[in-house]
Structure 1
Amino acid sequence: MTLQLLVLSNGHGEDIIAVRIVQALQQLPTPTNIFALPIVGEGRAYQQANIPIIGAVQNMPSGGFIYMDGRQLMRDVQGGLLKLTWEQIKSVRRWVRSHRKLGHQSAILAVGDIVPLLFAAISGTNYGFVGTAKSEYYVRDETDMLTRNSKSAWWENFSGSVYHPWERWLMSRRRCRAVFPRDALTARILQQFHIPAFDLGNPMMDGLEPSLTSHPFDDTDDQNSEVTRPLIVTLLPGSRAPEAYNNWELMMVAVSAVLASFREPEAIVSSDGRVIFLGAIAPGLDCNILTQTLQIQGWRASQVSPLPLPDPNCLTFQQKNAYLVLTQTAYNDCLHLGDVAIAMAGTATEQFVGLGKPAIAIPGTGPQYNPGFAEAQSRLLGTSLILVDQPAKVAPVIQSLFKNPDLLQIIAENGVQRLGKPGAAKRIAETLQAIL
């Protein structure tokens, strides 16, 4: 009998992770009929993947960041959040009843936090849960609890896990057949509470293969000669306007400071003296706005591209022996080519770190990448993410990093440990089909 699967998710990033798992399910020999209900937003990732949406969807004023700001929650309530939630709950239960009447085998996959998990638990059918929002790394590492001064620190872990008792209760119900935490440490803690947690990796690290088969600066004609290459700094300003534009202005101050530091006598510079900045710009942002900030900082348009990016529409700028490239399509290449990132993003920062690379973060004014979010992300990512309180401090951190190869090796191992190896979506899909 063909499994009927309803996927619930609550956010753009969660939608993308859900779609990766769905596409892996569709590659398996046993067919699965898949439906979706994005609880937050309109579910464009599902629409692009041709996955039918079963109920009402709506964009909310907060964009899904209500947990960071009570005022955002009130705006969403005024925008119809409660009515939408009730309609969505009814849609889920109606979907389950309709398939039960037809004698179908149905199940739900909840992706995100307690909201889709709760929807799944009250649906009346079997379910699995992909927990994207929480990790034990927020409160501990492999050896001990983190030392913190925050008043909220006790609340995050008061019951022995970053997942609270009511969340664990939903994960330990008879109908909850599988839980897929985002890392091995979280899976291990949940297993101690007799929850069916599987350590299969994080789908966030899937689909990041670069288009370039090799690093453009790693080739040399003479095997005995030293490879000369520039330092490549990836810029991750985030994806939401207008916040990303404000982040970009801060990052450009940091970029100017980095260039100035490379002219100092004791600076650690690239082997050929050049620096290339790669701006990984979300498709929804306006590059004209970013370009204006570049021109104010002294960058001039160039027809010479320093890298063979697979983007004919990329924009290249030059300032002395430094280049800055903006691309809205070569995201994976920006992650793989970068030696270090200046980051003010959520998922993109984690993916860069997951490739074993250091990122330097400048907390912005939000609503997403504010000081609270950045501090929490630094706990999640450990030594791989370095927080600075002002853009000018990025430059000395870069200089310090590349004077310390032992630290870079620790960062490389830490990133892979915390984000996992690629292929998680396929592993989760295979487990889901076997269990559900």
Structure 2
Amino acid sequence: MSKLLRSYLRYARGEKKTSPWALLYPLQFITRMWMKLRINLYARGLLSVTEPPLPVVSIGNNSLGGTNKTPMTELVVRQFQEAGIDAGLVSRGYRTKEHGPIWIGQDEESTRRETAGDEPLMLARRLPGVKIVVSRDRVQGVTLLASLGAKVAVTDDTFQHRRMARDVDIVLVDATCPFGNGNVIPAGSMREPKSAFSRADILVITKANQADPEQLAYTRAELEKLLDPQKIFTAEIRMESWLEIRGREERIIPADDRPVGSFLAFSAIGSPAGFYRFLEKEGISVKAHRTFRDHHIFTANDIEKLVELAVSLNVDGFICTEKDLINLPSELDLDIPIYIPRIVVSLDDDLGFRTKIMEKLKPNLMVASNGYGEDAIGVVLAKKMKKRFSSAEVSAFAFVGSGTHYRKEGFRVLSPSIEMPSGGVIKYSIFEFIKDLRHGLGSSITSQMSALSSLYSRYRTPVCVGDVYLLASMLWGQGMKPVLVATAKSVHLSGHLSVEQFLLRHRSRFVWTRDSETAEELRAGGVNAEFCGNPVMDLIDKERPEVDVWKGMEGARVLLLPGSRPRTYDDVKLILDAAKELSRRKECCFVMVPAPMIDVGKLVDNLEGWMSTAENSMLVSEGTRVRIYIGEVADAAVKADLLIGLGGTANQLCAGLGVPVVSILEKGKLIQKKLLKEAEVLVKADPLELAAAAEKILTDPDLRNRMRDAGIRNLGGTGALDHVVEYCASALGWDNRCKVYEKYRSFIEKRSGSGSTAEKEL
């Protein structure tokens, strides 16, 4: 190591208070600004975060120099092995000629230092049989690891690698030099400001037995200002054994049988001072030491100079680290023996450490939707996800309303309530938009985005049900590329704008469309899109027991849907009066299904000229009786002859079931008409007009059959949501994540139940 570099490192680590290197102090603010900008770009989705196909346990640090990442990586892998879980490793491979991904052991070339790097090869020696991949692109590395059969990926030095999502962020802090001189590179040894430690899921203070008690207490106190104390652990370096190399012969010596005599120590590691302190504590007599730059590859000339020095000092042997052993010439054959301490780390609370990993491995899944109809689809999807991924926590984020659909099914709603006069976030009318703005639309959206940001990195790939606006919002709040069930856009309406296609192409994992033509349009634009059925039709629960909603009722069965938006309380009178007029013209029976978020008591109280029976189960006016059914729309639609409806998604569902639809002329319904086509008739918002249109359909079997066939044809079949769940299970690896979590949890419970508190030694 050059004197210049040694001088810089002494200043950066705080060993030297005054130095010409202090002139670098202002430059650290460039680093600080860049790191903050970079983190925000990933957090807002402007730079994409990708979920790899395996659970990822990241082991990293926030400083230059060694923090015992390699032995800690080994410890975590062995902990998974002990639980019966096949864990593999992904490393960047410092100073290698290959970008990867390569698997150490795939061929002879992969075992060379120049190809794989020193630390991966060292771990390969320490962990025989463990799959180790070297790749500068960590996501590709984890993908290769998954193809090799690994169930968990432990990644080295990835705390700052924001492009890859991770399940557990373990951050290491060197107890002997926790924060350097307190500055960020190039003015100090820290990669990011001290506040970055707050991102850690688990923080381990390493080399605790090498630090002074006062220094260790100070380090812990500083970190507890940033992190929950229960997330902070300490680790000590322990001797496992010695490796002795004489000529070309190697043998393992027990830890207690330490080498006797005087020695020349040399090292090319991140924290050489820590290595020399360790030797001193172990009682090794070191006459002199030579330090090289981290990851230095020793040349024949280096070895020659070391031998000359050893002879002049009359030492009994060399001592170096296991990493240095990898960097020595392969044909090395010395008369002077080399001793390598084989170290392990032990934790102050091994069971607590494992428990924290287990807690973070639990899959947290999120379904997001931005509309009342989308909420209904989201609930079906969430139920399918919960059934498939039973050990996962499935939550919901409703961008419109208060998430009533989700709450009624027992799902946790993560979003604040947002109720607008228009019933949505961005609607068709500029006047409705202005009303929403006056009602606090801006502050509501701000609160939604704030809530999303607070959930950053806590959830897996978001599963969105809605439109590109929803996808962009999830990106801005979560950073990770979502998958999208596109329920709103279709080529039969207006297709996707260029900017929407750009977002879908670059910032979505996969898109499921509501029709094949839209999927073709998106694929032509480079989007991963597929049509696997209309998600609207998945609102039909085929496993749900059949409910005879129309039991005991006679006449043509007319279904009434008053809608799901706040205006429903005013609009309900329109369709009820239409029903009353229709009953004068033809013998009919009526069932009305209020949306889940509608207060039935409030709905009934607003009705002039109608009386309700006990428990609001029936409405009566001038001999017309309307049964109120609290349940799924599909329950009533399967046997209905006609729908008079003001809904959106619910109208589409009924049309897809072959029920002719009568609705009102307004902008939203005109757009919906492009989807339903001849399956729907639109008339003025007048009871007489609605009744006349309904009568015509009910008395004309040919018209009714044409409308029925058109609805079934235009809306498509079921099965889209099953494909979404299957994609998440396989491509995103959620099946495996759940199995890993369940297996690790079972292991922890057994270990905890046995009352074992002993430290786990490697």
Compute the TM-score of the two structures, normalised by the length of structure 2.
Answer: 0.43
Highest RCO, 1 vs 2 (Cα 8 Å, sep ≥ 6): 1
Match of 2:558 among 226, 229, 233: 233
CA shift, 1:164, in A, is 0.6
Q: After superposition, where does 1:160-239 map in structure 2 within 5 Å?
A: 162-173=495-506, 175-209=507-541, 212=546, 230-239=555-564
Asked which structure has the greater CA Rg, the reply is 2
Name the counterpart of 1:142. Answer: none
- In 1, the alpha carbon distance for the partners of 2:457 and 2:635 equals 46
Deviations 1:172-209 (A, max 9, x none): 11x52210122333223222222111212233333445
Match of 2:683 among 361, 373, 388: 388
Contact 2:376 2:539 in 1 (8 A): no
Tell whether 2:572 aligns with 1:248: yes
2:600 is paired with a residue of what secondary structure? coil
Query: Per the alignment, do residues 212 and 33 of structure 1 end up closer, same or farther by CA in structure 2, a change over 3 Å counting?
Result: closer
Deviations 1:334-383 (A, max 9, x none): 322320111222222122112111011134xxxxxxx1112122222111
Name the counterpart of 1:10. Answer: 370
- In 1, the alpha carbon distance for the partners of 2:619 and 2:454 equals 53
Tell whether 2:463 aligns with 1:109: yes
Q: After superposition, where does 1:1-40 map in structure 2 within 5 Å?
A: 1=55, 3-28=363-388, 31-40=391-400
Structure 1 unmatched runs, 5+: 100-105, 139-156, 219-227, 263-273, 296-300, 304-311, 364-370
- In 1, the alpha carbon distance for the partners of 2:661 and 2:554 equals 20
Tell whether 2:579 aligns with 1:277: no
Amino acid of the structure 1 residue aligned with 2:585: S
1:387 is paired with a residue of what secondary structure? strand
- In 2, the alpha carbon distance for the partners of 1:45 and 1:302 equals 26
CA shift, 1:257, in A, is 3.6
Match of 1:377 among 672, 686, 700: 672
Match of 1:344 among 618, 622, 646: 646
**Aligned-pair identity (%):** 25
Query: Per the alignment, do residues 215 and 281 of structure 1 end up closer, same or farther by CA in structure 2, a change over 3 Å counting?
Result: closer
Name the counterpart of 1:129. Answer: 484
Name the counterpart of 2:472. Answer: 118
Amino acid of the structure 2 residue aligned with 1:113: D
1:422 is paired with a residue of what secondary structure? coil
Query: Per the alignment, do residues 167 and 399 of structure 1 end up closer, same or farther by CA in structure 2, a change over 3 Å counting?
Result: same
Deviations 1:134-180 (A, max 9, x none): 22222xxxxxxxxxxxxxxxxxx4xxxx111111111111x522101
Name the counterpart of 1:367. Answer: none
Query: Per the alignment, do residues 302 and 186 of structure 1 end up closer, same or farther by CA in structure 2, a change over 3 Å counting?
Result: same
- In 2, the alpha carbon distance for the partners of 1:90 and 1:53 equals 15
2:482 is paired with a residue of what secondary structure? strand
Deviations 1:230-257 (A, max 9, x none): 211112222344x334323333443344
Q: After superposition, where does 1:309-328 map in structure 2 within 5 Å?
A: 314-315=617-618, 317=620, 323-328=625-630
- In 2, the alpha carbon distance for the partners of 1:79 and 1:261 equals 43
CA shift, 1:259, in A, is 3.3
Contact 1:129 1:179 in 2 (8 A): yes
- In 2, the alpha carbon distance for the partners of 1:6 and 1:256 equals 44
- In 1, the alpha carbon distance for the partners of 2:441 and 2:626 equals 42
CA shift, 1:395, in A, is 4.0
2:462 is paired with a residue of what secondary structure? strand
- In 2, the alpha carbon distance for the partners of 1:284 and 1:217 equals 25
Deviations 1:198-231 (A, max 9, x none): 212233333445754679789xxxxxxxxx9621
Contact 2:399 2:415 in 1 (8 A): no
Query: Per the alignment, do residues 70 and 8 of structure 1 end up closer, same or farther by CA in structure 2, a change over 3 Å counting?
Result: same
Tell whether 2:424 aligns with 1:64: yes
Contact 2:531 2:720 in 1 (8 A): no
Amino acid of the structure 2 residue aligned with 1:413: D
Tell whether 2:681 aligns with 1:356: no
- In 2, the alpha carbon distance for the partners of 1:356 and 1:254 equals 21
- In 2, the alpha carbon distance for the partners of 1:79 and 1:426 equals 38
CA shift, 1:67, in A, is 1.9
Contact 1:108 1:128 in 2 (8 A): yes
Q: After superposition, where does 1:60-99 map in structure 2 within 5 Å?
A: 60-64=420-424, 66-86=426-446, 88-89=448-449, 91-93=451-453, 95-97=455-457
2:718 is paired with a residue of what secondary structure? coil
- In 2, the alpha carbon distance for the partners of 1:395 and 1:41 equals 31
- In 2, the alpha carbon distance for the partners of 1:342 and 1:121 equals 38
Deviates more, 1:350-359 or 1:420-429: 420-429
Compute the TM-score of the two structures, normalised by the length of structure 1.
Answer: 0.71
2:529 is paired with a residue of what secondary structure? coil
Query: Per the alignment, do residues 376 and 396 of structure 1 end up closer, same or farther by CA in structure 2, a change over 3 Å counting?
Result: same
- In 2, the alpha carbon distance for the partners of 1:229 and 1:359 equals 20
- In 1, the alpha carbon distance for the partners of 2:449 and 2:613 equals 54
Amino acid of the structure 1 residue aligned with 2:696: S
Query: Per the alignment, do residues 285 and 259 of structure 1 end up closer, same or farther by CA in structure 2, a change over 3 Å counting?
Result: same
- In 2, the alpha carbon distance for the partners of 1:318 and 1:89 equals 46
- In 2, the alpha carbon distance for the partners of 1:86 and 1:329 equals 33
- In 1, the alpha carbon distance for the partners of 2:421 and 2:535 equals 28
- In 2, the alpha carbon distance for the partners of 1:346 and 1:362 equals 12
Tell whether 2:721 aligns with 1:425: yes
1:25 is paired with a residue of what secondary structure? helix
Structure 2 unmatched runs, 5+: 1-54, 56-360, 733-762
RMSD (Å) for aligned C-alpha atoms: 3.4
Query: Per the alignment, do residues 276 and 34 of structure 1 end up closer, same or farther by CA in structure 2, a change over 3 Å counting?
Result: closer
Query: Per the alignment, do residues 422 and 214 of structure 1 end up closer, same or farther by CA in structure 2, a change over 3 Å counting?
Result: farther
Contact 1:254 1:395 in 2 (8 A): yes
- In 1, the alpha carbon distance for the partners of 2:390 and 2:560 equals 42
Contact 2:591 2:628 in 1 (8 A): yes
2:514 is paired with a residue of what secondary structure? coil
- In 2, the alpha carbon distance for the partners of 1:213 and 1:352 equals 16
